[in-house]
Chains A and B, each alone.
Chain A
Amino acid sequence: MNATRWMFLIPILPLAGAMLNGFVGRRLPRSLVALVACGGPIASFCLAVLWFFELRSSGDELVNWLGDWFALAGLDVPFGFRLDNLSAVMAVMITGVGSLIHVYSVGYMSKDAGYARYFTYLNLFMGSMLILVLADNIVLLFLGWEGVGLCSYLLIGFWYEDEANARAGKKAFIVNRIGDFGFLLGILLIYVTHGTFDLRQINTDAAGGVVSASGLAISDVAKLWIPLLLFIGATGKSAQIPLHVWLPDAMAGPTPVSALIHAATMVTSGVYMVARLGAVYSAAPSVMLVVAVIGVVTALVAGFIAMSQYDIKKVLAYSTVSQLGYMFLAAGLGAYGIAIFHLVTHAFFKGLLFLGAGAVIHSLHHEQDMRRMGGLRKELPVTFALMLIGTLAIAGCPLLAGFYSKDAILEQAMEKNLILWAIGAATAVLTSFYMFRLLAMTFLGERRGAGAHAGDHAPGGHHDDHHAHAGPVKEAPAVMLAPMAVLAGLSICGGIVFHDLPAFVDSAHVAAHGVLGALVSPSGLLGTVFFLGGAWAAWFFFVKSPATREAVASRNPAGRVLWRFSHGKLFVDELYDALVVRPLDVLSQIFYLLVDRLLIDVVLVSGTSFCARVVGSTLRLLQTGRVPTYAGWLVGGAVVLLIVIFMVLNGR
């Protein structure tokens, strides 16, 4: 098939699936719903792979226009898609990981009443995400950007009967919209500066420092503010400080959703956007520094919070925030290819970890609190093995996927900015620590407190038995384990197989080492040390000597304060609540009473009530319901009017 004519099929096929399941899914048998739901993404995956290889062999970008969205003089936005190296990598990753998670969902959601609705949203998400990465202009990218945000809202609040889930969805949408506010202003500034929305053209202009259409130099203000405003959008979508607060709450959604949307794909859109507009960012070194600093600080802070969470999904959520921080660190250092490299490997192992967590939660009848887990390696050996692979990969075990991508980032930092490197290195230790802690608390030791009390974060209402811990703990079905196995395979060899990815995505990238060279480079060796150090600490505190942990966390004053802050998530939610949420509410209430009810209505229009009484009694006479009266009114009014016009004008 000719890609220049049919490329739009990549986003359209999942959208078509969404339409089908959305309109008639409730009346279809579940097997058919599943077939439609998985068919779209898998077909898109095949097309994406096909065209990916075509692109790789020919080197020609593929473009596809599908009519106009906006067509005004000087403002023209097509439904245009472009498959270049970057978007091809993203499209293959999204459709690939997406298809796996769709298949997994068939098992995970098998008993849910909202089966068709779930897959409708999930397909809609795939379509939006693919529009986002394939868009050839930033307004269409924004369409995808808002579309994925919408699906995120719908899926976080999927079990909406539990008020908390609905609130979490809303929070995600609102926080994202705050970011989008910046993003939209960035788009407007691009338009008035560059006179175009075309991503390729914007990059070309930014690289040259001149707007090609007008020949005018791009002002310093625009150079600075365009990337900065767009980055505000990225902090929202990719959950970076200060807009990271929605992602942990987003774990209220079904776990496959967390894997797909809140780990592998949507939350990486911010990183993709920065890489997509790489030339714009490279033209503003100060903004690059901001990106790198926000990224690395987020990485550290989120890693710090992840250390002390008990909800298995919250740990993974903060881990995701932290890993996204790494990606922004890479992007901020100008290593866009490496950022995308980590984005892809992260999709493998974090997708795997979430699916693994989902399998655990599924087996434990929706228990998410790790304090009531433990010892599951005996009952869930396959899940344990797969989770172990994921953990090794994210923690940076040499030869595995995460090792290569993280090492590449830290090596860049080591070369360019030692402070950033030091923070990134500390995060690496934390990563290894909190991941092995998760593994230890879930799978090692003995089972703790099964059925002690209901889980605080159990997704409510959709399973009648979700509080019942009775029954044997069983391994998840094959339909769930198989996609995990594929991701595990990718987590193991992804770093080696896709070693050339940075250079493929970013032609300016120069590979520092080969596959083996990275192992013995200074950065690689240090990385191995961080991995071992974190793992050892987790083993020591959670397996060998839990008493020492108790001592550090509760009796040592410094330890206690640190633990409180970590466990309390630095109290950012509480801060925002006090500074923004409540004041807005109170202010609105005051304005309503003071300005709208009192000032304007009573004081300014005090005449109204008087008139109301006078005219009101007249109107009541009218209410007799006699039509001739109304008709008389109509005619009479018109006549009086004409007479007045006549008299006034003739008397002039």
Chain B
Amino acid sequence: MDGETALNLVIFLPAAAGLALLLLPGRLHGLIRGAALTATIVTFALSIGLLRNFDPAADGPTPFQFVTSIEWIPSLGIGYRVGLDGISLFLVLLTTLISPIAILGSWTGIKERVREFHIALLFLETGMIGVFAATDLALFYVFWEVMLIPMILLIGIWGSKDRIYAAVKFFVYTMVGSLLMFLAILYLYAHLASEGVESFSLTTIYAGLLDHPLSFPEQVTLFSAFALSFAIKVPLFPLHTWLPDAHTEAPTAGSVVLAGVLLKMGTYGFIRFAIPFFPDAAVAAVPWISWLAIIGIIFGAMMCLVQEDMKRLIAYSSVSHLGLVMVGLFAYGSSGFNSKAVVGSIYQMLSHGVSTGALFLLVGLIYERTHSRRISDYGGFAKIVPRFAAIFFVTLLASIGLPALSGFVGEFLILTGTFETNRLYAVLAATGIVLGALYMLNLYQRVMLGKADEKRPAVADVNFREMVYMTPLIVLMVLMGIRSPWFTRLIEPSVERWLETFRVAAAG
């Protein structure tokens, strides 16, 4: 199979499977779960094929590989255009990996509307992969919006007590951003069309904007609209308050997908659209975004210190970690955006997806047994569930950036790059390493250590199914921690290429 076909299959196979599930009777839960799992595993296998065929040295006319380009609405220049570069490749892989794991993680937790749940998850997967694979601005926007719906349903239907509030909050936040971005897209199209460039193709837009730059005020306005939409997704302080609610109320699979993949759409949006479209505005925004990101790092960590709900704590830790990603993306110095920091940010996105995804799975796993997320309901669990404790501990170490695990590589590259461009930012961002250890070890101590309550009914340790889905994540944390060249080998050339797609006027 050639790469183009494979990529299209990767995008649509989940949704097709979702439609097929409609044909199954809703009562056959086992069959539905099995079918959904099979579809996502096949999708993952196909995406591994993409990884193997990806050529980091390719030097084609576009930065993308496995390109499909079919005119869809020719009169407007909208096409079905998809393709991958080294950046989106790994985000697609992250999505295809997380999806079967999310299904396995919900195997026993979801007992109602099982068929609909899996349909939503499968459509969500297609939407997310589409967002990363789209190389057409209009197509991207379609996927971006499509993906929201199953996510809202996941939170609003299969969530816990305050799910409606959380779903609506999530909806309102993201819709506000989306609408602004939509208007900005229209303006951008109008601008290029007036110069004779009538296409939503990304490569055409990049080239068009190099030839026909926007004025600075235009850039700032449009950048703000895009940035707001993406910053909500990241989430950047102070737009983060939807996240703890959404995470806490969502079912395990929802939290895993949210933390693992969805948040990365915000940072990915900055990389793919906001920065290359409006580079001068992006440069002007560097101090604003950097400071908000730094506040997010510290503030998010401080919030973690006072949380009583495990999921809420992990949600706030995401605010802190994604803050660091933003600092890296906006590490801008005299020689432009810092490629090391950008590679680090992308690495951190992947690492965070794996480790935080794993943390939510673990919380979900223990919640299924105890029906509590309150930290104070726990204590001494290391004795009761030693395997769980070991996995939890390794995951937590990866999350706080212990060297030889995945988190360190991204953090280190981001801090190195940022230190080159702005020492103050780097120093402030690095405080996260102290605070991260503090809140995570607090969590571990309160849940796992100390004396177990002897009156507590027995809790079973991690079972075989759970080992099956935790193992690949643990392996990845270690591999990403000690063999970073396997990943950066593909990411770095794409980042270099990315830096060439736009020029910063101010730097000359």
Contacts and interface: CB of A to CB of B under 8 A. Distances in A.
Contact of A157 (B115, B449, B452): B449
Interface in B247-279: none
A125 to B, nearest CB: 14
B402 A150 contact: yes
Interface string A141-168: 0110011001001000100111100110
B70 to A, nearest CB: 16
Given A72-B488, A167-B445, A615 B172 contact: yes
Contact of A68 (B172, B415, B485): B485
A517 interface: no
Interface in B162-220: 164-165, 167-169, 171-172, 186, 189-190, 193
A633 B189 CA distance: 27
B391 interface: no
Contacts of A184: 415, 430, 433
Contacts of B146: 634, 637-638
B119 A75 contact: no
B373 to A, nearest CB: 17
A588 B149 CA distance: 35
A71 B186 contact: no
A53 interface: no
A170 B445 contact: yes
B42 interface: no
A589 interface: yes
Nearest to B138: A645
Interface residues of B, number: 80
A316 B153 CA distance: 61
Given A72-B488, A591-B303, A633-B149, A638 B142 contact: yes
Interface string B132-148: 00000010011001100
A174 B433 contact: no
Contacts of A142: 403
B343 interface: yes
Nearest to B15: A634
A605 B449 contact: no
Contacts, number: 195
A170 to B, nearest CB: 5
Contact of A188 (B397, B426, B441, B449): B426
A187 to B, nearest CB: 8
Contacts of A189: 419
Interface stretch (A175-183, A325-333, A396-404): A175-183
Tell me if B's interface is mostly helix, strand, loop or mixed: helix
Contact of A72 (B241, B415, B445, B492): B492
Contact of A588 (B76, B306, B448): B306
A334 to B, nearest CB: 29
B41 interface: no
A522 interface: no
B404 interface: yes
Contacts of B76: 645-646, 649
Interface residues of A, number: 76
Interface stretch (A294-302, A557-565, A621-629): A621-629
Contact of A616 (B168, B241, B303, B492): B168
Contacts of A181: 430-431, 433-434
Interface string B287-306: 00000000000010011011
B123 interface: yes
A623 B403 contact: no
B156 A623 contact: yes
A591 B299 contact: yes
Contact of B450 (A72, A160, A587, A638): A160
Contact of A587 (B241, B302, B438): B302
A146 B164 contact: no
B358 interface: no
Contact of B402 (A146, A461, A585): A146
B437 A71 contact: no
Interface string B388-406: 0000000001000011100
B380 interface: yes
A160 B22 contact: no
Contact of B190 (A69, A167, A627, A652): A652
A143 B405 CA distance: 10
Nearest to A166: B449
Nearest to A652: B190
A181 B298 CA distance: 14
Contacts of B149: 630, 633-634, 637
29 contacts: A70-B409, A70-B412, A72-B343, A75-B413, A79-B482, A143-B403, A147-B404, A160-B450, A161-B380, A161-B449, A166-B445, A173-B437, A180-B433, A188-B415, A188-B416, A584-B305, A588-B302, A588-B306, A600-B238, A600-B241, A612-B164, A619-B167, A627-B22, A627-B119, A630-B120, A630-B149, A634-B150, A649-B190, A652-B193
Given A177-B434, A188-B426, A611-B172, 14 more contacts: A68-B484, A72-B488, A143-B404, A161-B380, A163-B450, A166-B445, A185-B426, A191-B416, A588-B302, A591-B299, A595-B238, A596-B303, A623-B156, A646-B73
The 8 A-B pairs at the shortest CB distance, nearest first, are namely A143-B403, A166-B449, A588-B302, A71-B485, A188-B419, A160-B449, A612-B168, A588-B305
Interface of B: 22, 73, 76, 78, 113, 115-116, 119-120, 123, 138, 141-142, 145-146, 149-150, 152-153, 156-157, 164-165, 167-169, 171-172, 186, 189-190, 193, 238, 241, 299, 302-303, 305-306, 339-340, 343, 380, 382-383, 397, 402-404, 409, 412-413, 415-416, 419-420, 426-427, 430-431, 433-434, 437-438, 441-442, 445, 448-452, 482-485, 488-489, 492, 496
Interface of A: 67-75, 79, 139, 142-143, 146-147, 150, 153, 157, 160-163, 166-167, 170, 173-174, 177-178, 180-181, 184-185, 188-189, 191-192, 461, 584-585, 587-589, 591-592, 595-596, 600-601, 604-605, 607-608, 611-612, 615-616, 619-620, 622-623, 625, 627, 630-631, 633-634, 637-638, 641-642, 645-646, 648-649, 652
